[in-house]
Amino acid sequence: MISKILVPTDGSETAKKAAKYAVELAGQIGASAILVSVIDKTLFASQSVPSIAAPTHLIEPIEDYLRQVAEACLDDVERLCEKKGVKSKKVVRRGHPVEEIVKEAERSKADLIVMGSHGKSALKMAVLGSVTFGVIHKDTKAPVLVVRR
């Protein structure tokens, strides 16, 4: 019933915990894993950073760096997959995390999404991070499994 698990990660401790859970589960049921990390474009597009104050020659190195960080997060989970004999695929996207996660879930025909309750934000009091909240409230076909921090 579950043959493909989507594992979104932002490199946070909770996302790592969720990824570990997802990989263990995938190993047990013989599913494969799609590892996805989204470079949050909204960070650049915010009103507090007008485009004139963020010219391309400044944005590009930041984006390159963020891409490297995203790749590194996925490499960690990929290694875990290899250890557990789980087939995996890495996907780096750029855009709004909720939109891109949901789009990737549909594109890759994931049967389950496993993600953390929280991420990198300093807002530790929030009941649920906004990315997870957003994914749950989108009309996704796949059920969402939330791993607590």
Q: Is 77 in the site for ligand ATP (CB under 6 A)?
A: no
- For the chain, what is the largest distance between any 2 Cα atoms, rounded to a whole number of angstroms? 51
Q: Is 25 in the site for ligand ATP (CB under 6 A)?
A: no
Q: Is 3 in the site for ligand ATP (CB under 6 A)?
A: no
Q: Is 34 in the site for ligand ATP (CB under 6 A)?
A: no
Question: Which contacts of 134-141 are long-range, i.e. CB under 8 A and separated by 24 or more positions?
Answer: 134/97, 134/98, 135/8, 135/98, 135/101, 135/102, 138/98, 138/102, 140/102, 140/105, 140/106, 140/113, 141/105, 141/106
Residue 110 interacting partner from Mn ion, ligand ATP, none (CB closer than 5 to 8 Å by kind): none
Binding mask 119-138 for Mn ion (x = CB under 5 A): x-x-----------------
Q: CB 73 → ligand ATP: shortest distance, Å?
A: 8
At residue 89, the 3 state secondary structure works out as: strand
Q: CB 146 → ligand ATP: shortest distance, Å?
A: 8
Binding mask 93-132 for ligand ATP (x = CB under 6 A): ----x-----------------xx-xxxx-x-----xxxx
Instruction: Count CB-CB contacts under 10 A for residue 22.
Output: 28
Nearer to Mn ion, 2 or 144 (CB): 144
Q: Is 28 in the site for Mn ion (CB under 5 A)?
A: no
> Which residues are CB-contacts of 138 (< 8 A; sequence separation ≥ 6)?
98, 102
Q: Rule CB under 6 A: which residues touch ligand ATP?
A: 8-10, 12, 14-15, 18, 36-38, 40, 97, 115-116, 118-121, 123, 129-132
